[in-house]
């Protein structure tokens, strides 16, 4: 899989990496490339992205 830094990650040393392979989208922690990976269907990926863009997953301030 070709992993890339998410465009929504900060400029710091830790970020989220994403990859697309066959019929799934994958997410992992860049600081733990051998750690857990989340696999999503394309439709679930789209729902997640819309939620992120809307701020639905932001931490409370």
**Domain spans, the chain:** 4-54
pLDDT digits (tens, 9 = 90+) for 3-51: 998 776 666 677 889 999 999 999 999 889 999 999 999 999 999 999 9
Separation of alpha carbons 34 and 28, rounded Å: 9
Count of other CB atoms within 10 angstroms of residue 34: 6
pTM over 0.75: yes
Amino acid 24: pLDDT: 97
Amino acid 8: pLDDT: 65
């Amino acid at each position: 899989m070709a992993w890339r830094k998410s465009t929504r990650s900060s400029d710091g040393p830790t970020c989220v990496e994403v990859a697309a392979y066959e019929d799934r989208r994958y997410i992992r922690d860049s600081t733990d490339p051998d750690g857990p990976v989340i696999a999503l269907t394309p439709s679930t990926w789209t729902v997640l992205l819309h939620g992120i863009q809307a701020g639905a997953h932001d931490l409370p301030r």
